[in-house]
Structure 1
Amino acid sequence: MNHDHAPLQRRVTAALESFLTAQRERLSAIDSALLPVADALTEFVLGGGKRMRPAFAYWGFVGAGGQDTDAVVACLSSLELVQASALIHDDVMDASDTRRGLPAIHRRFADRHAAEGWAGDSEAFGRAAAILLGDLCLAWSDELFDGAGVDTVAVARARPVFDEMRTEVMAGQYLDVLAVATRDTSVERASKIAVYKSAKYTIERPILMGGALAGADDALLKCYSAYGLPLGEAFQLRDDELGVFGDPAVTGKPAGDDLREGKRTYLVAAAMAAGSPAQREVVSTLLGDPDLDDRGVAALREVIVSTGALATVEARISELTAAAHDALDGAPVEPGAHAVLTDLITAATRRAG
């Protein structure tokens, strides 16, 4: 059974649009030079994304018996501002020039600096602007979370989950950066990064946040964790796979970008664990080469397939999604929410991106 997620997506986008319009006026009142900042963030936040985190949070809320209001949707839309902050900073760290098929924020401001003929280094200006804009999104996530008009007792229940999530994603991001620097290709490290950088942040914490907002009991929250954590890991594994084998028209990033960035993903770790010395040498030599061309990408893909790493990841995704289904089937969730949360298992792990 397939449910239409578009109405909720539209409501999340409308809540963000209203919030960002008010913030634009606020920045404009400080100085008109901040209007390009407001415009860039508005276009970035509203211009793409599947609104997956607010969806898990919303259906976690409804599943726990919460009563739908526009204020609740706006409160949970704060997750999109956390996501925007993470993506903006991620692109700086990875030196990625594109995001969702458009110039990354740091690239946009570097290009503006160059076009205007301003003093100093354009690339440094772009990075500085992106760091500040990412920080601004994170600060704004708090404002929207607290100021959407939801009952303060309910907000206080959900606040620890919101805070924990943001700490975890930054911890996961650092471990990801560290693994690239130390050339750590262990499966254990790759799994931990997947859990903290993505699994908890994308699904487990949002659904727990929605549950807490609705006053869910410990038994339901435990079911939500048992559903969200494996599904979040499956989502990250699929995302890593798309980063190597995905269609740029779907992913919005050049083919093989994760390989050029040297990402120590579970996919790469599985290839290193199963590979021959010659295959491991190919990975060690090519992974993380910023000038990696199509031939190099093809060589790395060949190793990932021939070592069985791709099949290993596919099997792991199947195992994790089965665990999510099992957890949901045993959960005391409102029937309508149960059906949508079942659909979201497919939406989070589909091959199309």
Structure 2
Amino acid sequence: MTLVSRARPGTRPAFDDGLLPRLHGELEAFLARAPDLAPDLTDALARLLLSGGKRVRPTFAWWGWRAAGGPVDGPRADVAVRALIALELLQGCALVHDDVMDRSATRRGRPAAHVAFAARHHRGRWAGDSRHYGDSAAVLVGDLALAWADDALVTAGLDGAALARAWVPWQAMRTEMIAGQHLDLLAGARREESLEKALTVARLKTAAYTVERPLHLGAAMAGAPAHLVDALRSYGRDIGVAFQLRDDLLGVFGDPAVTGKPAGDDLRDGKRTALMALALGLARSAGRPDAARVLRDCLEGREVTDGTVLEVCALLWELGAVDAVEERIDSLTGLALQALDQVELDEPVRAALGALAATATDRRR
């Protein structure tokens, strides 16, 4: 999700509070202070976290903070920004571990951590298997990021009451992230075709971890009342699932120049998305075993050629799966914005959350 504005060139997006450079500076300072007991692991993590990234999670958390009356500037705001780098460290853990599980070769235009470690092992002619060494070292990088994420939150300077409030969504988010990842893993192993299960993965792996809990975290730090937390979480759940559904479409139809991934990449990887689950259900309803067979060929990891990608893309339109997903995205976005209508928000906050919803579900991102 690229945090870009739909506004005129030269104007700032509604959700630009000057947050991103502040986050980068605090993250850089935290990594510089961290114990350097394992420099190879620390360097790999720092390269990943400081080489870019969209800062989606702390951005949503910041607007949860602002929605609950948290200030933009001053000592309290500085503490909040320091606390929110915990989300970037947690994301670092998820990315490194995901790359190992998915056998991804690159991350942000560079060799993924496990690939870089394996290459170093190979060049040095070290003992043992290079791939095993690379995977093992990358797992440790992710573990270090997870440990430091807790450290960043606890040592940010939140007072005891704010930290206790923040710990509730923080605890839940870590568990939900891992549970969602495991359900995604199980879906492939068990050849799941259920739309309900695909949406459950989307809620845990994407919606809760990317939008809902970060909003909850920021609001909790600022001392939000229960009704505001409930409204923000409702908005976050719906926008988070809509975000994943848009990602499903972009993983098949997206412009590689925008998404950074080859067209049809999700089909080649056999991802069991809600889009594919919907298409399989529609193929069964239409009495189209031929279409279902082509779709399953992708999911089963059989060879997927450029011709297969074109055939599946055509089927997704023909069966009505693309339209069904678009309708669901529109419905979820509408429900999310309705949830915000139930609470009082400062106009800049409401505008920012509306702009973030539009960006998360943008067809072009």
SS at match of 1:264: coil
Select the residue among 312, 333, 342 that pairs with 1:330. Answer: 342
Measure, in 2, the Cα distance between the counterparts of 1:64 and 1:303: 46
Q: Which residue matches 2:299?
A: 287
Measure, in 2, the Cα distance between the counterparts of 1:308 and 1:268: 11
2:251 is aligned with 1:239: no
Select the residue among 57, 76, 82 that pairs with 2:90. Answer: 82
Measure, in 1, the Cα distance between the counterparts of 2:17 and 2:258: 19
2:23 is aligned with 1:15: no
Select the residue among 23, 33, 44 that pairs with 2:48. Answer: 44
Relative distance call for 1:290 and 1:155 in structure 2 (3 A) is farther
Q: Which residue matches 1:249?
A: 257
Measure, in 2, the Cα distance between the counterparts of 1:182 and 1:78: 34
Select the residue among 339, 350, 354 that pairs with 1:342. Answer: 354
Measure, in 2, the Cα distance between the counterparts of 1:112 and 1:54: 33
Q: Which residue matches 1:313?
A: 325
Q: 1:288 offset after TM fit, Å? A: 4.2
- AA paired with 2:308? G
- AA paired with 2:354? T
Q: 1:273 offset after TM fit, Å? A: 0.6
2:149 is aligned with 1:141: yes
Select the residue among 55, 59, 62 that pairs with 2:63. Answer: 59
Q: 1:109 offset after TM fit, Å? A: 1.3
SS at match of 2:18: helix
1:176 touches 1:193 (CA, 8 Å); kept in 2? yes
- AA paired with 1:172? G
Within 5 Å, which residues of 2 pair with 1:151-162? 151-162=159-170
Q: Which residue matches 1:189?
A: 197
SS at match of 1:14: helix
2:67 touches 2:349 (CA, 8 Å); kept in 1? yes
Q: 1:253 offset after TM fit, Å? A: 3.4
- AA paired with 1:80? E
Measure, in 2, the Cα distance between the counterparts of 1:154 and 1:287: 45
Q: 1:127 offset after TM fit, Å? A: 0.8
Q: 1:88 offset after TM fit, Å? A: 1.1
2:220 is aligned with 1:220: no
2:106 is aligned with 1:98: yes
Q: Which residue matches 2:363?
A: 351
2:42 touches 2:141 (CA, 8 Å); kept in 1? no
Relative distance call for 1:37 and 1:66 in structure 2 (3 A) is same
1:260 touches 1:288 (CA, 8 Å); kept in 2? no
Q: 1:6 offset after TM fit, Å? A: 6.9
2:15 touches 2:351 (CA, 8 Å); kept in 1? no
1:207 touches 1:228 (CA, 8 Å); kept in 2? yes
SS at match of 1:216: coil
1:100 touches 1:253 (CA, 8 Å); kept in 2? no
- AA paired with 1:301? C
Consecutive unaligned residues of structure 1, counting only runs of 5 or more, are none
Q: 1:252 offset after TM fit, Å? A: 3.1
Measure, in 2, the Cα distance between the counterparts of 1:216 and 1:227: 15
- AA paired with 2:325? V
Q: 1:126 offset after TM fit, Å? A: 1.2
Percent of aligned pairs with the same amino acid: 47
Measure, in 2, the Cα distance between the counterparts of 1:352 and 1:258: 17
Runs in 1 of length 4+ with deviation above 6 angstroms?
none
Measure, in 2, the Cα distance between the counterparts of 1:86 and 1:242: 21
Per the normalisation by structure 1, the TM-score is 0.93
Deviations 1:91-125 (A, max 9, x none): 11111112223221111211222222222211111
1:8 touches 1:55 (CA, 8 Å); kept in 2? yes
CA RMSD of aligned residues (A): 1.6
Measure, in 2, the Cα distance between the counterparts of 1:212 and 1:191: 27
SS at match of 1:343: helix
Structure with more helix by fraction: 1
Consecutive unaligned residues of structure 2, counting only runs of 5 or more, are 1-6, 8-12
2:314 is aligned with 1:302: yes
